Structure formats: C-alpha cells, structure tokens
Structure 1
Amino acid sequence: MTALVAAPMSAGGADANAPTDDLTQVELVWIEKRTEHWIRFGRDVGEQILDRRRRIVFFAPGAVFALVRWASNDYGTIFSRLDIVRAVRSGEAFQTHPTVMPGGAILLRANGWPDVERVLQIIDAVEAVGIDPVDAAPDHWRHVHNRLAAGETPRAYTLARHRAFGMRREIGV
C-alpha cells in the first residue's frame, strides 16, 4: 500500500488539516489513447499512487475541482464527460459519481465531446481574465450547466462578478 502524500492547501475553502476520513477521493486512470481521467483544475491535498496507470487524489471538504473522463476504442471516442464538483463535508448530502468517493455536490455536468470542449473553453475564458476557476463562484458553474442544458450561451464570468461573489462571501450571504 502506498502512503498518502499530503501537500499544503491554499485558499479556496478547503482545509489542509482535514481528517483523512473527511477527504473526497478521486481515482484517476491514464491508459494512453484508451481511458484518460484527469483533473482540469482543483487544489488537491494529497495523492496516492496505486500503480503506473492509476492514482488517487484527495480533496478537502469545500474544495472545487473539475474532473474530465474520456475513453475510446479502435473506432474513436466512445465517452467524454466533464464534471465540476464540490467536495462535501461528512454528513452533508451529495450526489454519487463514478470514481469519486463518497461523491460530491455536482455543480456542472457536460456529456459528449462538443459539450466538454465548450466547458473547457469556458474554463479557459475564466482563466484568461485572471481568475483561478477554483475560486470562481459555485453559482457560476451551475449557471453554465443550466444554460448549456437549455441550449443557450452562458454569461461570461467577469472580474466584476468575481468581486461581487467575494463581497457576498465576506458578509456570509
């Protein structure tokens, strides 16, 4: 058994000293050009390497991360999905999710490569204005999910929206 390698956690609502039992575990698999799972953004607090193709990353309660899962066969892509998830605290309600234990609060779900690619572009746009997607308002990711599900264009996440989210967070709203 490989030991958990912990790394300090910075801002973003997650606690680096959270008990291991309270951590959300995400199993990642990388079999080149067959099955590829990766974290697009997120601040993990540790990692456990299982073998050369599999590892588990750990997220503290409250941490937000984007998990991308992709698979193909000899004929091309057969599955692609992107989920933006908030790690939950012990006893908090959550949705189950493949490869995420125990599960999490799903803020956004995109299925199929066209939708996944669109969400990746939206994440890139958030980064382009100088905001780490981890720090973006969770409501923004819900908004993006709902707009894409309705076939509409989501509003851009701007510095002004981010400042407003920070102010609401400061006063506890």
Structure 2
Amino acid sequence: MTSATGSGPQHGPAPLARYADTLTHVELTHIEKRIENWIRFGRHVSDHILNRRRRVLSYRPGSVFGFIRWAANDFGTVASRIDIVRAVAPGEAYQTLPYIRPGGEILLTVDGWPKVCQMLRLIDDVEAVGLDACDVAPDHWRHVANRMSVGQAPRAYTPERHQAWLKRREIEG
C-alpha cells in the first residue's frame, strides 16, 4: 500500500508534497549547461538536499528572496528570469510560480538575460550601500519592476529611504 501523497518505493520521492507547514519551499536545480535555478538573496530557515542536483530551501512567511531561473538547450539560452518574491502566510493570497510551493507574492519579475543582468546590478547597488536586499521595502521592488517595464531607470534605494520604510513599518505594525 502506498501513502496518500504518492510517495514510496513504487512512485519515487515527492519532496515538496511532504511539507505541510507554514513555510514557503523553493526547489533549486542545477544541471550543468541546461538548467540552473538559484537564490540571489534571502534568508532561508531550512536547506534540504534531495540529490546531487536538487535541493529545497524554505522561507518563513514575510521573507523576501530573489529567485533566478536559467535554462538552455543545444543552441543557447532559452529562458532567463528573476523573480523577487515575498513568502506568504497560510490564508494569504498568492501567485503560483514554478519551483515555489505554495507560491508567493510576486514583487518583481524580469525576463531576458540583459534585463536580468541589469536587475543583478541593481541588487548589487543596494548591497553596496550596506543593506541586505531581502530587507528592502517591498514597494521598492515594485517600483523597480514598473520603471524597468517602461524602459526607465529606477530610483536608487538609499539608507534614507530604508530608514523611512522601517519607521513606516513600525507605525503600521
């Protein structure tokens, strides 16, 4: 007899189905020159290695992380994307994303390697002023997404903007 989740020796592992908790789980895959999924920033609370090529990182509700997906075939890159996602609490609305269970609040999505590289530089700029990208105001990532979608440069995220967001969050919460 097999379990209800379909895991067991006959069906192989069901790595993400076994998590019945409040965490958001991100499956990372690395197959040299074919598929590379990785986290650019974020604070995970759990790291579960599934095999040589796959592992699952887990995030608490409210955590923000940058998730990059890249894929290629024999002719070159076929997909590259970065999503900046906020992990949601049970009962909150969320969008589904490949490799992320159950899903999350998408703060930013950028497709295409040139734009992904531009986004990586913007993340580097945030870190260059001494801030961790996962602590940045979610509204900033939405601002960046909106500006990039119309071909305009986003405003820099400064320590002063960060302090203003922390004060706003303190007042609201």
Band the TM-score falls in, shorter-chain normalisation: 0.7 to 0.9
**Which residue type is aligned with residue 79 of structure 1?**
A
Output the amino acid matched with 2:52.
Answer: R
TM-score normalised per structure 2: 0.87
Other structure's SS at 2:147 match? helix
Residue in 1 that maps onto 2:89: 89
* Structure-2 residue corresponding to 1:24: 24
Residue 50 in structure 1 maps to residue 50 in structure 2: yes
- Offset of residue 33 of structure 1: 1.4
The runs of 4+ residues in structure 1 deviating greater than 6 Å are none
Q: Which residue of 1 aligns with 2:145?
A: 145
Greater displacement, 20-29 / 55-64: 20-29
The runs of 5 or more residues in structure 2 that have no matched partner are: 1-12
Give the secondary structure class of the aligned counterpart of 2:131. Answer: coil
Q: Deviation of residue 20 (structure 1)?
A: 5.8
Take 2:107 and 2:55, find their aligned partners in 1: how far apart are those partners?
Answer: 24
Deviations 1:98-155 (A, max 9, x none): 0000000000000010111111000000000110001110000000001001111100
Q: How does 1:67-146 map to 2 (within 5 A)?
A: 67-146=67-146
Which residue number corresponds to residue 154 of structure 1?
154
2:38 and 2:27 mapped to 1: Cα distance? Answer: 9
- Count, aligned residues: 157
Structure 1, unpaired ranges of 5+: 4-18
| Overall identity of the aligned pairs, in % | 59
How many angstroms apart in 1 are the aligned matches of 2:32 and 2:125? 28
RMSD: 1.5
Instruction: Tell me the TM-score normalized by structure 1.
Output: 0.87
